[in-house]
Amino acid sequence: MLFRFLFKPRDPQLVIGSDVTLKYLGPSDARDFCAHIHELHYEDFRDRFNGLVSDPWLDQYIARSLNEAIVIGAYVGDHLVAVAELHTGGQISQGEGESAFSVASDWRRKGLGTILVKALLRAASENEISEIIVETGSQNHAMKALARKFGAKMQFSSDQSVGRINVADGLRLAARDRTHRKFPSVPLPAPEMTSAAVTMN
Residues that bind ligand COA (CB under 6 A): 44, 47-48, 100-103, 108-114, 136, 140-143, 145-146, 149, 179
Residue nearest to ligand COA (CB): 113
Q: How many angstroms separate the CA atoms of 28 and 62, rounded?
A: 11
Least Å distance, CB 109 to ligand COA, is 4
Residue among 13 and 194 whose Cβ is closer to ligand COA: 13
Least Å distance, CB 191 to ligand COA, is 25
Strands 131-137 and 160-166: antiparallel
Q: Which amino acid is at 64?
A: R
What does the DSSP assignment read for 39-72?
A: HS-HHHHHHHHTS---HHHHHHHHHHHHHHSEEE
Least Å distance, CB 128 to ligand COA, is 23
The secondary structure of residue 28, as a DSSP letter, is: G
Residue among 116 and 129 whose Cβ is closer to ligand COA: 116
Least Å distance, CB 65 to ligand COA, is 12
Least Å distance, CB 100 to ligand COA, is 4
Q: Which residues, other chains included, contact 102 with Cβ-Cβ below 8 Å and sequence gap of 6+?
A: 36, 37, 40, 44, 48, 82, 83
80: β partners: 75
Q: Which residues, other chains included, contact 150 with Cβ-Cβ below 8 Å and sequence gap of 6+?
A: 117, 121, 165, 169, 170, 173, 174
Residue among 129 and 143 whose Cβ is closer to ligand COA: 143
